[in-house]
Amino acid sequence: MLRCGLPAPYWTNVFPGVLTLGVGLAVTVAPLTTAVMQSLPAAEAGVASGVNNAVSRIAALLTVAVFGLVLTAGFNRSLDGAIEQMVLSSANREALARERAKLAGAEIEDPELRRALDVAFVVGFHEVLWISAVLAMLGACSAQMLTAKGAASPSAQTT
């Protein structure tokens, strides 16, 4: 999805990334939940399930909020840089001030300003994707380290 630029045809630029994400989540979330549930006694399964679901929901809420801030910051930074290099009429400045909070959904008539808005959104989107990729790699590394420690511990080797 980092190949997405302007224009970004959905089926060739966006859909493959979304499909990969969906398949990746499908093959990781269910086994992870199963592993968590099987690691506890049956008497604690209800509490474990509740905690697992609560943590999952809270993490999703925080992720959407933080990534929204990251996207908006990248958008604003890119748009500010583009605006500095443009000569805008007072009408376009007013329209931009009124519509800026809509990000790429801003209704702007001027083609040059429209292009700057679109590019700024893609810049913010790419920043979110890079952060997501780094966090996924860190998660994979921490899982590998924890799995290796669990396999090496004496309690894991008892039969």
List, for residues 37-49, the tens digit of each pLDDT value: 888 888 888 888 8
Considering the domain boundaries, does residue 43 fall inside one? Answer: no
Considering the domain boundaries, does residue 120 fall inside one? Answer: yes
Q: Quick check: 132 pLDDT over 70? A: yes
Range of the domain at 72: 53-143
Considering the domain boundaries, does residue 28 fall inside one? Answer: no
Considering the domain boundaries, does residue 57 fall inside one? Answer: yes
CA distances, 79 to each of 71, 74, 84 (Å):
12, 8, 9
Considering the domain boundaries, does residue 14 fall inside one? Answer: no
Q: What is the total count of domains within the chain?
A: 1
Considering the domain boundaries, does residue 2 fall inside one? Answer: no
- pLDDT tens by residue, 43-101: 888 888 898 889 989 999 999 999 999 999 999 999 999 999 999 999 999 999 999 99
Check residue 6 and report its DSSP letter: S
b/e per residue 39-70 (b: at least 16 CB within 10 A): eeeeeeeeebeeeeeeeeeeeeeeeeeebeeb
Residue in 105, 110, 104, 68 with CA at minimum distance from that of residue 90: 110
Looking at residue 139, its pLDDT comes to 87
Considering the domain boundaries, does residue 90 fall inside one? Answer: yes
Considering the domain boundaries, does residue 40 fall inside one? Answer: no
Give the C-alpha separation, 100 to 108, whole Å: 10
Give the C-alpha separation, 50 to 56, whole Å: 10
